Amino acid sequence: DVQLQESGPGLVKPSQSLSLTCTVTGYSITSDYAWNWIRQFPGNKLEWMGYISYSGSTSYNPSLKSRISITRDTSKNQFFLQLNSVTTEDTATYYCARSLKTGTYFDYWGQGTTLTVSS
Amino acid sequence: DIVLTQSPATLSVTPGDRVSLSCRASQSISNYLHWYQQKSHESPRLLIKYASQSISGIPSRFSGSGSGTDFTLSINSVETEDFGMYFCQQSNSWYTFGGGTKLEIK
């Protein structure tokens, strides 16, 4: 069965960069699908951040495009989120999730990792 | 951006009730609308895809309908395990989510 697991630092200072890892088991991230990052703010609002596809192409939410980068390590079956110049408004639970590449839904999700931005 | 508005924000029901949750899009999205359930301290779980298509492993009491701008998630005979948050999500243009409906026990 496909499983996704996020990991990260838990706490980041304002103006720094955050880096999160999603480790996928049960499916190769180079076989098919898109591999997404989605975050949920306090108060429950969900925001799609971007994805890296099985081929390595990326797509980002325009609201984040200047700050975000999604990369991968195919040898470890992992993909990564980097978000630059964070503020307290980036405090959220971050999920990785799988989807078809376009026009679709998220069928497998990780359990989420909470990130707090605070000095 | 396509804005999804869910109503009501909170719905208080008794187990055994039939309930309908609404999701309205700010412009037509055809049937590119998907529903999720999220229980406390868990990640979202896909319930319905493309407005009305069922998902393997999801109980048959969950159903979806609608197209264009107005969509409904129905739960036929709510069970205690169904209480939690419900979100809609569109994939017609980028991806956005509704603000959610909280289903609680009356």
B45–A109 CB contact, under 8 Å: yes
Residue A103 confidence (pLDDT) above 70: no
Compute the distance between CA of residue A5 and CA of residue A84 in angstroms, rounded to an integer.
22
A48–B96 CB contact, under 8 Å: yes
Residue B4 confidence (pLDDT) above 70: yes
When pLDDT is averaged across residues B13-37 and rounded to a whole number, the result is: 97
- For residue B63, the model assigns a pLDDT of 98
Give the pLDDT confidence of A17-63 residue by residue, as tens digits.
Answer: 999 999 999 999 999 999 999 999 999 999 999 999 999 999 999 99
Nearest to A47 by CA among B101, B31, B44: B44
Considering CB atoms only, which of B32, B36, B43 is closest to A111?
Answer: B43
Chain A touched by B89 (CB under 8 Å) = yes
- For residue A65, the model assigns a pLDDT of 82
Give the pLDDT confidence of B38-97 residue by residue, as tens digits.
Answer: 999 999 999 999 999 999 999 999 999 999 999 999 999 999 999 999 999 999 999 999
B44–A109 CB contact, under 8 Å: yes
A46–B87 CB contact, under 8 Å: yes
For residue B12, the cross-strand partners are B104
Compute the distance between CA of residue B3 and CA of residue B94 in angstroms, rounded to an integer.
11
Chain B nearest-CA distance from A112, in A, is 7
- For residue A60, the model assigns a pLDDT of 95
When pLDDT is averaged across residues B32-41 and rounded to a whole number, the result is: 97
Residue A100's pLDDT band (boundaries 50, 70, 90)? confident
Q: How many CA atoms lie within 13 A of A102 on its CB side?
A: 5
Mean pLDDT of chain A: 96
Chain B touched by A58 (CB under 8 Å) = no
Backbone phi, then psi, for A62, in 5-degree steps? -55, -30
